[in-house]
Chains A and B, each alone.
Chain A
Amino acid sequence: MPRPRALNQGFGRVLIVIYAIFAIAATARSAVQLSTQFSQAPVAYLLSAIAAVIYIVATIALARGEGVSRMVATIAVAIELAGVLIVGTLSLILPSVFPHASVWSGFGSGYGFIPLILPIVGLWWLYRSRP
C-alpha cells in the first residue's frame, strides 16, 4: 500500500492547477455575464457565479491542504459535484430554465465534461491523501 501523500503534493499539484484554471475562467466569464447580460438569464448566470466562487474556494482550500482547509475543500468539491449533477440533469429535462449555458449545463459538456470529472477526481484525491 503506497504511503498517503499530502493533499497539495504529487497529483494534488496537478489537480490544483486545473481547479485554478477553472476558477479564473469561471470568474472572468461570470463577471462578464453578470455585468452585461444578467437580465437575459438570471438563473443560469447566478449559477455560473456560484460555480466560480466554489472553484475559487476549492482551489485555495486544496492548495492549503491541511486541517480545516481539507474539510473546506471536501465540502466545496462535494457541492460542486452535487451542482453539476443537479444542474446537468435539470438542463436536460427542463431546458427552458436554462436557455443560456452555464458551466454545469449538460454536465459540463461545453467544457469537455471536465466540470463533471473534476469533482469526482477531487473527492477521490481527498480520500486517497487522507491523513
Chain B
Amino acid sequence: MTGLFANALISAGLVVAVWSAVQLIANRPIGRSLRVAMWVLELMVLTFAIGGVVQMIMTDHDFAKLEFVGYLLGMCLIPIGALWWTRSDASRAGTAVLLIIGLVTSILVLRVQQVWLGPSA
C-alpha cells in the first residue's frame, strides 16, 4: 500500500496534472494523448484498488477497513468520470478538469495510505 506502485500512481497523477497545466497555458484542447494518459491513470487506479483490497484481506493489522474500501471505490470513479464529463469538451474548462483530477488522484493515494497506516501513525 505504501510501496513502489503507490508512488508510481502518485507520480502518474502529478504527470497528468502538469501535462494538463501545460495544455491549459498553451490554450490547447485536451487531445488524444492526454486522454490516453487518463485511461492509463484509470487502469492504475483500478490496479491499486484491487491490490489494496487483496492486501487488506491478507493483513491482520487493524485499521478503518470500511473507510479504506470506500476511498478505493471512490477513486475508481474519478478518472473515468472525468473522461466522461470531458468527452466532447474542447474548451479550456475540460483541460482544467483533468488538471484537478490528476491532483485529486495523487492526494487520494496519500489519504488511502494514511488510512492504511491507521490512527496511530
B66→A20 contact, CB < 8 A: no
A9 on interface, CB distance cutoff 8 Å: yes
Residues of chain A contacted by B93 (CB below 8 angstroms): 9-14
Cα–Cα, bound, A13→B66 (Å)? 31
Could you mark each residue 57-69 of chain B with 1 if its beta carbon is under 8 Å from any beta carbon of chain A, else 0? 0000000101100
Q: Which of A25-33, A41-49, A71-79, A88-96 contacts B (4 or more CB under 8 A)?
A: A25-33
A39 on interface, CB distance cutoff 8 Å: no
Give residues 40-74 of B contacting A (CB, 8 Å): 64, 66-67, 70-71, 73-74
Interface size class of B (residues with CB under 8 A): 20 to 34
Label chain B's interface by main secondary structure: helix
A29→B100 contact, CB < 8 A: no
A117 on interface, CB distance cutoff 8 Å: no
Cα–Cα, bound, A12→B93 (Å)? 8
Residues of chain A contacted by B73 (CB below 8 angstroms): 28
Label chain A's interface by main secondary structure: helix
**Given A13-B93, A14-B100: A32 touches B78 (CB 8 Å cut-off):** no
Q: A20-B85, A29-B70 are in contact. List 14 more A-B contacts (CB 8 A).
A: A9-B91, A9-B93, A10-B93, A12-B93, A13-B86, A13-B93, A14-B93, A14-B96, A20-B81, A24-B74, A25-B74, A28-B71, A32-B64, A36-B66
A residues at B contact (CB < 8 Å):
9-14, 16-18, 20-21, 24-25, 28-29, 31-32, 35-36
